[in-house]
Amino acid sequence: MDQKYAGHTLLQSVPFGNEMLASRLVMAPMTRNFSPEGVPGENVAQYYRKRAENGIGLIITEGTAINHPAAVASADIPHFYGEDALNGWSNVVTEVHQAGGKIIPQLWHVGAARKIGSVPNIDSPPVSPSGFTLRGSRNEKIKALTKKEVTEMIDAYAEAASNAKRIGFDGIELHGAHGYLIDQFLWEVTNKRKDEYGGDLGERTKFAADIVRACRKEVGPDFPIVFRYSQWKGTDYEAKLAKNSNELEQLLTPLVDAGVDIFHCSTRRIWEPEFKDEDPSLNLAGWTKRITKKPTIAVGSVGINRAYRSNHDNDNITIEDNLTIIDEKIKAGEYDYVAVGRALLADSEWAVKLKNGKLDQVLHYTKESEKHLF
């Protein structure tokens, strides 16, 4: 048996809040649409359990809908409200904990990314900070949230956080990335508000910071709050919230002050520097940790041999290359955890095969196979 990766830094036990994770490996949140009427069943519980019992330290669930009629755009995306859905999630937590893992829900509202007339609530219009599309154009069919509705939305996130703690989760993740609702408040293209929830970059953080603060009030000081953010959007891979490290500090400082414990820094390629003119080696997670002094999760094409949306220049990047880079970066203190997405979607035993030197036996992800994978 090849022991090449048996002692890899990814496989080390590491703190998470007041608890310990079995490894630095995090299962990235991935939407699957396998929860009819928003209720996660036994198949969902076993899906997450398999990853926990095969060496994944922290599982972040697929995005879950907060209690708002336009939160998501599918009847099969799991809810994080209502007795049936929460009972289903309670069972998921039990299964993961029995397998020795930790698990947090990702709390989600898609905002203007929701198409008009989407199920499950076809009469509920998409909502956004200012009634703008993700392309930056005004659309009268997208509802701009009133101040009262903003407050109600914040309360919905806080309610979900309270539910997470009550049913035994190990923390929460707020989805503030990829052009969804929280990100729409952060981004100048979609936030044109004239009240206290709009303005310059620091001022546009108020919605996210108020959500963090409200969640913290519900869960207390020792319950981890993870905040996921990205520069890129689903509609614009070249988008930037922050064009340099000074702007990134303006973005992150209010979130730290509000109570974020860990930042999950979503990038498409983990090895790419964020501000290469300032530092040719630090990725977004590295910059975030340098600025905030908070633990960070790095992510981006870790477990696959062809980078996400790659061009020809990325074809030579291999899983082994990534593992070498990750080992160096963790040892240098640039980030603390590493999230793996599609590789874990395809193969629940990915971490065990890594540990045992059997990467050549990994089941590889394909789009067609996704619907069959558990």
Active site residues: 180
DSSP of 226-246: EEEEEEEETTBTT--S-SSHH
d(CA 31, CA 83): 21
DSSP of 85-103: HHHHHHHHHHHHHHTT-EE
d(CA 209, CA 177): 14
- State the amino acid at position 245 in one-letter form: S
- By the 10 Å C-beta count (0-12 exposed, 13-18 middle, 19+ buried), 12 is classed as middle
d(CA 1, CA 19): 32
d(CA 197, CA 194): 7
Which residues on adjacent β-strands are paired with residue 263?
Answer: 227, 296
Count of other CB atoms within 10 angstroms of residue 232: 20
SS3 of residue 83 by DSSP? helix
Which phi-psi region, left, alpha or beta, contains residue 16 (left: φ > 0; alpha: ψ -120 to 50)?
Answer: beta
